[in-house]
Structure formats: structure tokens, C-alpha cells
Amino acid sequence: MWYNGLLDLSVMQLVLVTLVMTHITIVSVTLYLHRHSAHNSLDLNPVLKHFFRFWLWFTTAQNTKEWTAIHRKHHAKCETKEDPHSPVVMGIKKVFWQGAELYAESATPETLERYGQRTPEDWLERRVYTPHKELGIVFLAVMNLALFGVNGIWIWAIQMMWVPFWAAGVINGVGHWFGYRNYECADNARNISPIGFLVGGEELHNNHHTYPNSSKLSRRWFEIDIGWGYIRLFQLFGLAKPKGYRPIAHCVPGKQDVDVETVQAIANNRFDIMRQYRKRVMEPVLRQQKTLMDDEIRPRYRKLKQLLSREVTLIKPREKEQLETVLENYAALRQIYEKSLELQALWRQRGLKPQEKLQALMAWCKEAEASGIRYLEEFAEHLRAYSLRPSA
């Protein structure tokens, strides 16, 4: 019938078409806007790059410069009052339900000028995409009505809500509020799910904030970044070139000499180093100490385990007091905690010369090996094996 549109599809076919179109939109956001434009971690073929730009204008009214500038500002000012969409500052409800509005409010001339460099400024951008942002979604509405009839109305509505809900609400909101952390980066970013499909791999948000310049968002064997799958597919046809996804630091079997390259490799791989320290040193020592804990502290064992490895700037004052109380009573825990802070000082301190960092790391390893704590001794030996060059 005429009200079913030119295609006259069944309900299941309409649902499938909607999911395919919204998925293309998500792929455009994660590959083009995020990994390519905002972070320059991915090179795209000009044809593919323009397809993504057109598709986003056509289906979301999204402007490349605005999105890029706001996202870069988010990383530069993360979890502060200047962060365009921090649930830590604004509250989870506001960011989750008003994520799109926060983007619009943040697109000030100052933000665009400071953070919007290296974005398209060609004729189409100047004459069509920027001055007529809403024209694309008007054409989309007309096309939907023509192809799908009255069903085109709800298909269009879903397309309009898809990115504001998943990208602006879920990733920017839930991604800084709830989930698991592989790495203790300096903000509250979390991995929502190890399976990154619905939002193109952006669900692995803690991984991204830890390594923002990597085109690959998955880090653990069980994590799946579907966006990375598309990158590899496009790479086969010469349409994409990923950057910054291979590890620079390597462990060289048998290496025992601490040199400048060791320091550089550890600093480059610092977040993974601290994750290993948690697994290899903190957790086994804490399990040993658990048998010595009194009835008052033992129920807080799980919380203590989190606090020992948490990024120091994210520990609340009350939690800091609780942690200090435990460390006063358990010398082994204090020792491994202080050694953790000393190791982090290698890359936290500004202005240290490479030779000074080398001397500090050599001293750290020597003290760790003389600590009498087997796990700490083994970890010091592990650090000595790091280099910027892989083993032959």
C-alpha cells in the first residue's frame, strides 16, 4: 500500500534496516570523528573519510569541528569543572539524559578556536555542512517517508536518538561512572563492557583514556573492539592505516642491566607496569596479610585491595584516612605501597634528566631486591628486562 512506502517492507525488515543504518552511524563516529579526527590515531582514505563526514551530516547533523573540539577539551580538562560532560562533576543523571545538550552548550567560539584545529575547511564544509547542519536530517526524514511510508517516522526518530543516547549519554556518562578498570589512569574512565559492539568499541573507555592515541581500544585477551575489526578490514583494501596501536616497550628475556632504554620503556608502558605491579606484588602480599588481619579490618579487605592500587588523585579524604590506618599496622603493606608510589614518581616528577631517572630506577630495583618480600624481588627482576627494542 502507498502508506508502506516504495519498499513495502515487513516489520522485521524495517527493524533490520534501522539497525544497519544506526550501526553505520556508530562506525562513522568511532572511526572518523573519534579515532581519526580527534586523536589522529587513524589515517583514512579521502573517499572513505568523506563518506563518513557526509553520513554524519545526513543522519545526525553532527559537525566535525564541534565534535572534535569538545572531545579534545574533555581529555584536556577531564573530571574538572571545565570538562564539557563529566558525571563526576555534573552528576550521572545530567550527563546520561542531557548529553547532547551539553555538547551543544560547549560548542563555544573559544572552544572551537583552541581545540578544533586540523578539521575540514573545504568548500563543502564552509558552504554546506557547517552553515546548513540541519538540512541533512531533513533530507533523511523525506527519504525515510518515501521509502518506508509512515514507518519512516519512527525509523527517523530512532536515528535521531541513537548517537545522543549511546555516545553522549552512555559513553560520556556511564563510561565515567560504572564498570571495570584495567588501568589506573588519572580520571574516572571505566570499561562498561569487554564486548564493544553497540557503540563500536567505545565501551572500552578506560582503555581509551589510558592510551588515547591508540587506534585499538581493546587491551585484554577477552576484550573485543569491533571498531578495530572494521579498521583491519578497511586496511586490507588500502582504505585505512592505524597508528599507535603496537606496544613500544618490550621485555627482553635474560636482560638484567638497567639502562636509559629501560627507564624510557617503563615510562612509556607505565599504566600496564602498575597493573602488573598490582597483580604480581600487591594482591599476593595482601592475601598473605589477610590471615593476620583483625576482625575489624578483614571485612574491608576488598575495599583495601582497591585502594592500594587506585590512582592517588582519585582517593577521597575519608578513604585516605582508612588506608593510612591499615598501613600503620601492617609493615609489609606499607612497604609495597610506598614502593609503588616511588616507582610512579619516575614519570610523575617533571624536569628530571634521563640519567637522574636511571639512577632512581637502579636504586628502586636494588631496594626492592633487598626488601625480603619475594614478590617485590621478582618484580624488580622483571623490570630490568624492559627495553624499547624487542628481543631478536
Residue 79 confidence (pLDDT): 95
What is the number of other CB atoms lying within 10 angstroms of the CB of residue 284? Answer: 15
Residue 158 confidence (pLDDT): 97
* Pair 119, 237 in one domain: yes
User: For the chain, what is the radius of gyration of the CA atoms?
Assistant: 25
Residue 250 confidence (pLDDT): 87
Residue 296 confidence (pLDDT): 73
CB 40 within 8 A of CB 213: yes
Closest listed residue to residue 22, CA positions, set 158, 164, 145, 188: 158
Alpha-carbon span 90 to 75, nearest angstrom: 16
Structural domain including 368 reads: 251-387
Any domain includes 169: yes
* Pair 159, 270 in one domain: no
* Pair 195, 277 in one domain: no
Any domain includes 392: no
Any domain includes 112: yes
Any domain includes 237: yes
Provide the domain count of the chain: 2
CA distances from 208 to 234, 251, 366 (A): 21, 23, 34
* Pair 312, 215 in one domain: no
Positions of the chain with pLDDT lower than 50, given as ranges = none
Give CA angle at 76 (74, 80), nearest 5°: 70
* Pair 19, 106 in one domain: yes
Range list of H helices, the chain: 11-27, 46-60, 64-76, 87-90, 92-106, 109-115, 123-124, 135-148, 151-163, 172-173, 205-210, 226-236, 260-268, 270-277, 283-290, 301-309, 317-329, 331-348, 354-369, 374-384
Any domain includes 90: yes
* Pair 229, 256 in one domain: no
Residue 78 confidence (pLDDT): 96
* Pair 173, 207 in one domain: yes
* Pair 331, 204 in one domain: no
